[in-house]
Chains A and B, each alone.
Chain A
Amino acid sequence: MRFLRTPLESRLLLSIASTFVPRRLRAEWRREWDGEIWWWASTRPGGGQTARERIALAMHCCGALRDACCLRREENELTASLGRLLRRPATCLAGAILMLAVAGSASGGFDHIRRALRSWLQPDAGRLAVLSETGPFMGQRLGVSARKVAYWNRHAQTLEGAAIYSWYPGAARDNSAKVGESFFTFLRARPRIGRVFTTEDTVSCRDCVVLGYDYWKRNLKGDPAIVGRTVTLDGQPARVIGVLARDSWFFDANPAAWSLFEPGKTPQEFPGILTGAVCRLKPGIAPAAAERELRQLARARVSVTPISVILQRPIATLGPLWIAFVLSSGMVALFSSGGRGVKAVAFLFSKAVLGLSFILAMTIEFGGAASTTETGGTTIAAGAGSLWLFLVGSGLVVRWCWSDQRKRCPECLGRLAMAVPAGNGARILLEQSGIEMACPLGHGTLFTSQGGSIAPERRWASLDDSWRDLFVTS
């Protein structure tokens, strides 16, 4: 045998490709390719050793990768059947629904969206508001002074009352929070077991805590007899008087435990903690009226923001954009159908709606929660990030839906298969370059031009029943 040395890069490509070939066929596959490469090199003037020939040979060996992947896919009946299953339109829609379900379970059943919708339905929801002092820089919301809250409590006519709260930012210590005694009363928070704080507790129950549901469930294994027992939090013993209900929520701090501010000590005496205030407006009082009164009383730039507004903010911002995306994809579906029927339009539209809903839900649940501060404001970076995430995600979804539709059979909507490049070198026999795909059920073939050709960009050749023998046999 004449000795022809295969260049290193080509050998490497073949070795990589051979790992994809099923073990049973690997030796024979490699033998065939070695023979082909020998033949290729022997017909070249430089024996495949000049730089130009080495590049051409490497390109030739790239085909081995495609060949190996094809063999692997078709050798395995399971993956082949799975591939056929995934091509069906129903599977595509089921996949989109599954993605939504995964997003739902990851976000605790679309927790944020549910709360926002609930706040729309409760007529009383707008009365609970967060008080914050507005900073000089772009209306940034800061905490409030405990002294001012005490003053408002005494003099404000528009409020039923206000209570302070504070928390350790992030996951410091046990992520515990301190609250005024009427905080839970204003919040209308219900205990799952035991009770929440009352006014008397400031004197008689200074070491008492109310546990958060998640902490109780995770760290104390949901012990139903926890009330009255002593637990250690932040290295200090604390007596449990109750556990909050599962749906109790106040922003996203989700503290492990809530305790009362120590009497005589103002929150400012705890360095490194933030202080906010929550208030309940009297019936019929608008937040703007309360804001005016509080500003006059304290001579400060105070903002009164109903919690329902904070909850609904992501939906109010992104909802119209979602509708715009859905409507535009509906228009695209109608105009691009080319009179091929309601089925194709409905399929494209359903795909787009499901995909866009997934992006909307993810942005609201994770982006919205991350961008809301404990004083009810929006962090500039996270807020803008959420918006961009939504816009980019939606753009990608619409683009994918459109390109996926173009790779489907117009008759059965199954994804076209058997893509073969009739590329570059095919220009003499096929007179054009592009990709040819066929409907697995034999409804037709699609030729997509890859540019540089005088042929139309896309050409669908519908095949009648008389062609069926070429594609499907029993």
Chain B
Amino acid sequence: MVYDLTYVGAIVLHAIHCGRRYGFQIMEVAELASGTVYPLLRRLEKAGLIRPQWEKDAVARAEQRPTRKYYSVTKQGEAALEAAALRYRFPAIAPQESAR
């Protein structure tokens, strides 16, 4: 299986690890285009480094917005990120516990 963990891929993984959990939030913090972030999310998901999860309908309804697809880093992803951190210099991203 191929990880494809290039520098940009590692940045996206790092952003998710820091609490940016859905596409638009990752785009905003990494200042990457949608055409970069979403394909990378699919690749990272396929490589098993991140796991997607739809939020509960009730939560979205309460906030009067559509449901979101959240991404979280898997154990495998954490290991890859740890290895990547030794190679790449990651930008500082403030940890975020939960999405808005």
B43→A39 contact, CB < 8 A: no
- Highest count of chain A CB atoms <10 Å: which of B4, B9, B22: B4
Cross-chain contact of B64 among A2, A438, A470 (Cβ < 8 A): A2
A421→B1 contact, CB < 8 A: no
Min CB distance B10 to A, Å, is 8
Instruction: Let me know if A172 is at the binding interface, CB within 8 A.
Output: no
Min CB distance A183 to B, Å, is 68
Closest residue of chain A to B47, judged by CB? Answer: A473
Chain B: interface residue count, which band? 35 or more
Residues of chain B within 8 A of A1, CB atoms compared: 60-61, 64-66
Residues of chain B within 8 A of A35, CB atoms compared: 22, 65-69
Instruction: Let me know if A64 is at the binding interface, CB within 8 A.
Output: yes
A420→B9 contact, CB < 8 A: yes
Closest residue of chain B to A42, judged by CB? Answer: B65
A436→B6 contact, CB < 8 A: yes
Q: How far is the CA of A418 from the CA of B66 in the complex (A)?
A: 31
Closest residue of chain B to A69, judged by CB? Answer: B39
Q: Which of A414-464 contact B (CB under 8 A)?
A: 417-418, 420-430, 436-438, 440, 445, 447
Min CB distance B3 to A, Å, is 6
Known: A429-B31, A470-B83. A436 touches B38 (CB 8 A): no
B33→A421 contact, CB < 8 A: yes
Instruction: Let me know if A32 is at the binding interface, CB within 8 A.
Output: yes
A425→B35 contact, CB < 8 A: no
Instruction: Let me know if B30 is at the binding interface, CB within 8 A.
Output: yes
A428→B22 contact, CB < 8 A: no
Q: How far is the CA of A66 from the CA of B32 in the complex (A)?
A: 14
Known: A1-B65, A74-B42. A470 touches B33 (CB 8 A): no
B2→A425 contact, CB < 8 A: no
A420→B24 contact, CB < 8 A: no
Min CB distance A420 to B, Å, is 5
Instruction: Let me know if A38 is at the binding interface, CB within 8 A.
Output: yes
Residues of chain B within 8 A of A65, CB atoms compared: 35
Q: Which of B1-23 contact A (CB under 8 A)?
A: 1-11, 22-23
- Highest count of chain A CB atoms <10 Å: which of B34, B38, B60: B34
Cross-chain contact of B34 among A63, A417, A426, A445 (Cβ < 8 A): A63
Residues of chain A within 8 A of B68, CB atoms compared: 35, 39
Residues of chain B within 8 A of A67, CB atoms compared: 34-35, 38-39, 42
A31→B80 contact, CB < 8 A: no
B46→A74 contact, CB < 8 A: yes
- Highest count of chain B CB atoms <10 Å: which of A35, A60, A61, A430: A35
Q: Mark A39-74, 1 if CB is under 8 A from B, else 0.
A: 110100000000000000000111111110011001
Instruction: Let me know if B36 is at the binding interface, CB within 8 A.
Output: yes
Min CB distance B91 to A, Å, is 4
Q: Which of A1-43 contact B (CB under 8 A)?
A: 1-2, 28, 31-32, 34-36, 38-40, 42
Min CB distance B76 to A, Å, is 9
Residues of chain A within 8 A of B4, CB atoms compared: 417-418, 438, 471
Q: How far is the CA of A187 from the CA of B91 in the complex (A)?
A: 81
Residues of chain B within 8 A of A436, CB atoms compared: 6-8
Known: A1-B61, A421-B36, A440-B2. A427 touches B31 (CB 8 A): yes
A470→B5 contact, CB < 8 A: yes
Residues of chain A within 8 A of B46, CB atoms compared: 74
Residues of chain A within 8 A of B22, CB atoms compared: 35-36, 39
Residues of chain B within 8 A of A467, CB atoms compared: 87
Q: How far is the CA of A65 from the CA of B3 in the complex (A)?
A: 23
Q: How far is the CA of A89 from the CA of B51 in the complex (A)?
A: 35
Instruction: Let me know if B73 is at the binding interface, CB within 8 A.
Output: no
A64→B39 contact, CB < 8 A: no
B39→A428 contact, CB < 8 A: no
Instruction: Let me know if B84 is at the binding interface, CB within 8 A.
Output: yes
Instruction: Let me know if A472 is at the binding interface, CB within 8 A.
Output: yes
Residues of chain A within 8 A of B24, CB atoms compared: 36, 39-40
Q: How far is the CA of A42 from the CA of B63 in the complex (A)?
A: 12
A469→B83 contact, CB < 8 A: yes
Q: How far is the CA of A36 from the CA of B6 in the complex (A)?
A: 25
Residues of chain A within 8 A of B23, CB atoms compared: 32, 36
A34→B2 contact, CB < 8 A: no
A66→B35 contact, CB < 8 A: yes
Residues of chain B within 8 A of A71, CB atoms compared: 39, 42
A residues with a Cβ closer than 8 A to B are: 1-2, 28, 31-32, 34-36, 38-40, 42, 60-67, 70-71, 74, 417-418, 420-430, 436-438, 440, 445, 447, 467, 469-474
Q: Which 5 A-B pairs have the closest CB atoms?
A: A63-B34, A63-B35, A66-B35, A67-B38, A70-B39
